[in-house]
Amino acid sequence: MLILTRKPDESVMIGKDIEVKVLRVTGSQVHLGIIAPRSVQVYRHEIFTQVMAENQKAVAAATQPDAVSSLGENLQKLTERLRGKAP
């Protein structure tokens, strides 16, 4: 891992398009400003990890044997409630 020391108002460049700037430091919180092309996505790391974990759970549940055919059974009650709610 590359480790750089920065002060508030200083920044680092990642490539020539992405700038990460330290705006201010309050206690244990660091406020970062990120300037990047619109095609670059920026997430908090833990959100991305959470989505990956939930995808794995969703698949594990859906890939039981005969997932599709048994779906009707497992989700039937829910389906009935949803259908009851649908216009």
Partner 1 sequence: MDDNKFRRDLILSITPYQSEMLASLEKDAVYEFPEGIPAFEDARRFTLLSTDEIKPFLYLKSLDLEGLGFVCIDPFMIYSGYLARISAADMIKLELRDASEAIVLSFVTVQQNPQENTANLLAPIIINLRNRKGRQVILDKYPVRYNIWDNLDRLEPGT
Q: Which residues bind partner 1 (CB under 8 A)?
A: 37-41, 43, 47-48, 50-59, 61-63, 67-69, 71-72, 74-79, 81-83, 85-87
Report the alpha-carbon distance of residue 27 to residue 4 in Å, rounded: 19
Minimum CB distance to partner 1, residue 21 (Å): 19
Minimum CB distance to partner 1, residue 56 (Å): 5
Token pair for residue 7? 């002060």
Cα angle 29-22-3, degrees, rounded to a multiple of 5:
90
Token pair for residue 14? 């990642």
Nearer to partner 1 by Cβ, of 9 and 17: the residue is 17
Minimum CB distance to partner 1, residue 20 (Å): 17
